[in-house]
Structure 1
Amino acid sequence: MSNLSKKPKILILATTASMIEQFNMHNIQLLQSLGAEVHVGTNFIKPGTITTDKSNTLIKKLNEKKVKTHQIDFMRGIGTHKMNKIALNQVCNVIRNYNITGIHAHSPLGGIIGRRAAHKTHTKIIYTAHGFQFFKGGPVKDWLIFFPIEWFYSRWTDVLITINKQDYGITKRLRSRRNYYIPGVGIDFPSDREVLEGYSKRDIIRKRFNLKERDFLIISVGELNENKNHAIVIEAIKRINNPAIKYFIAGLGPERNKLQKMIDELNLGNQVKLLGFINDLNDLYYAADLNVFPSKREGLGLGGLDGVARGLYIIGNKKTGMKDYIINGKIGILIDNIMDVNEIVQAIESIIPNRPQIKDRDSIYKFSHENVDRLMSKIYEKEFF
């Protein structure tokens, strides 16, 4: 900013309202505490992995915090040329009409449109990549398609933030002016006392879920989409053929009907449940014996990390950012090929007899809101103020 006395006006941009609600409320608070006027641009009408009611509540909550909200008609995925052009014009209008001095963009499409808008309006931009769509060991076609796109747009990126170490390594190949690594977007890190209290209620919680003492509960948390790959776990449970194994999936998404059809066709209705959106996941974490996070691509996997913070053992994908916190066998198991159902079967069967819990959570404290907020505050102060 040329005039340091001028109050910064920062636009936080994301494709869906769920990305604001889940990943950016702390960022909004940080910016306001530093003295910025904060604006949020996202699709509140098609809010992603939260319900429409939750999106409306979010608008009200933001307005109460004196955050200005703007409907941007982002599409999911890569969008269409026509709709992307509409979204670009909407973002540019917000920037010009409200004299926006800085943008913090999230999500691949939000990052692309945000950077196009920043370039057109000569506005400084930070882009947080929540997991590149290309990664070491990933499909060659993803490198051929998505890496050139990111390389191109990186020239219009003042600051690039990555949330896992593998992505940070890739930034050396890009043209962004400055690159930062921060360990995730922050999680609520419960105290030892909170975790002990949670497990002290475990039997009561499990009864609410209609679980018997011998039942082995596996959970997955995340949007019901192809990338989250819940179907591979359902197939593994069918192969194990143990009626004591229960599998609960928490989340909304376009794959719901397809997954329910699969459950019905495999006659797993008594074992596998689609729980829908759950606002408070704590009870589910404390009721569970294992968290399986089978995403094909994942920046970090907050649904997995939240469970680990509460002592829940995990199975994750070795090719994703999950390896930043599944650092040894006391925390979980990393699968080499997440599409190999036999690997998942073997991992689950190796865990069932012992029902391990994570005792030492010190290694993941760096992912806490307290630490991440401290790092983000420094970045904001340096780049926007």
Structure 2
Amino acid sequence: MSKQRILILATTASMIEQFNIHNIKILQSLGAEVHVGTNFKNPGTITKDISKQLISKLNSMNVTYHQIDFMRGIGTHRANKKALQQVCNVIKENNITGIHAHSPLGGIIARRAGHKMNVKVIYTAHGLQFFKGGPLRDWFIFFPIEWFYAHWTDALITINQDDYSVSRVLPVKHRYYIPGVGIDLQRVSNISESRRRKLREDVRKKFNVKDDDFFIISVGELSKRKNHATVIKAIHELNDPHIKYVIAGIGNLKDELVSLIHKYHLEKQVSLLGYVRNLDGLYFASDLNIFISKREGLGLGGLDGIAHKTYIIGNGRTGMKDYIRVPETGLLMDNPSNVKNLVKLISSVRETTPRIYSISYIKKFGSCNVDECMKKIYMKEFDLG
């Protein structure tokens, strides 16, 4: 049997760096030659320096990488046409035999290219654009698009239970559910209690958080979808100088969030940290993780927080409800834009100071289980192993 050449395709380098290194290793372990196509120049939620480091890492892994000039969001007709041609060229010049695509635009262009070049396509939906309880507008716009491209989808992978249920009405050849993209539970569980206490003390000291302060964190891109503005408004409403809030992430909404912080005179309480690579200290130092994205496939920042035993407030209309147990590990909002409701939930957590005791139930979201699921999918769909 000739060697399989698999192209992993995503609109941003951050999706490769954060979600696909394990997939690359699995494909290589099964004997495939791996190629990566993404936008390294505009890398998404990671910095350009980390994007350069990713290129070095791919080189060291013997992975061939290709710059694809994807735009973020839905792109433009001209830009999408250019990206499609680039992907087709990669397929033709490298004899690509299969594609594993990520992100909505990456999934569409991959399926167009796969259909045109007669190449098999697996598409991982990191949260369908339409979802149960979501805006009707999204169903009217995005469901017909996904239904159309489902005809050119050899396998659809969903990472939460709601999306898997919805996928049953899409005419894809095969559909799978896997519990997320995999988090390194073993690494976190190996951090000793003394190390956890030290990290907590160091981070709280760094941000001038006193013993009687209530420290809240959010992790995620500075974008409207991640909904950090609602948290800032809630902190303004709470009017309590002992509440400190930090956001770890980069994005084009930075100036708008800075203006909001100035508007409410919260400069001494709210800080934007930029990109933070190692989040252990922040999770251990915090009293609450607020992760109320308006749309989220699963929400790695929420799941990772629970792995660190950090209590969470999440959005109940996303995949977060797959792993947040109310009230043991967190609370869920029906409407993530409801400032008054968030104020009540923050107050409730602060008054009761809940602690997470057992997280054994999230074992299925760990890398070991998810990697095994992906290995079986790759073996079946790409005829590997």
* TM-score strictly above 0.5: yes
Q: Distance in 2 between matches of 1:127 and 1:95?
A: 16
Q: Does 1:27 align with 2:27?
A: no
Q: Distance in 2 between matches of 1:62 and 1:356?
A: 42
Q: Distance in 2 between matches of 1:273 and 1:89?
A: 42
SS in 1 for 2:351: coil
Residue segments in structure 2 that go unaligned for 5+ positions in a row: none
Q: Does 1:79 align with 2:67?
A: no
1:151 match: 147
1:353 match: 351
Structure 2 counterpart of 1:298, from 288, 296, 299: 296
Q: How does 1:25-64 map to 2 (within 5 A)?
A: 25-64=21-60
Q: How does 1:200-349 map to 2 (within 5 A)?
A: 200-201=197-198, 202-349=200-347
Contact 1:198–1:286 (CA under 8 A) maintained in structure 2 = no
SS in 2 for 1:220: strand
Structure 2 counterpart of 1:194, from 191, 196, 213: 191
Contact 2:188–2:307 (CA under 8 A) maintained in structure 1 = no
Q: Distance in 1 between matches of 2:281 and 2:84?
A: 41
Deviations 1:204-258 (A, max 9, x none): 3311222111111111000000110100000000000110001100000010000
- CA shift for structure 1 position 49: 0.7
2:105 match: 109
1:377 match: 375
SS in 1 for 2:368: helix
Q: TM-score when scaled to structure 2?
A: 0.97
1:124 match: 120
Q: Distance in 1 between matches of 2:210 and 2:100?
A: 47
Contact 1:195–1:310 (CA under 8 A) maintained in structure 2 = no
Q: Distance in 2 between matches of 1:29 and 1:210?
A: 41
Across the aligned residues of Structure 1 and Structure 2, the Cα RMSD in angstroms comes to 0.9
- CA shift for structure 1 position 259: 0.2
Contact 1:195–1:311 (CA under 8 A) maintained in structure 2 = no
Q: Distance in 2 between matches of 1:192 and 1:154?
A: 40
Contact 2:188–2:308 (CA under 8 A) maintained in structure 1 = no
Deviations 1:55-108 (A, max 9, x none): 011001101110000000000000000000000000000001000000000000
Q: Identity over the aligned pairs, expressed in percent?
A: 61
Moved beyond 6 Å, runs of 4+? none
- CA shift for structure 1 position 355: 2.3
Q: Does 1:99 align with 2:95?
A: yes
Q: Does 1:138 align with 2:134?
A: yes
Q: Distance in 2 between matches of 1:82 and 1:198?
A: 52
- CA shift for structure 1 position 328: 2.4
- CA shift for structure 1 position 200: 2.1
SS in 2 for 1:194: coil
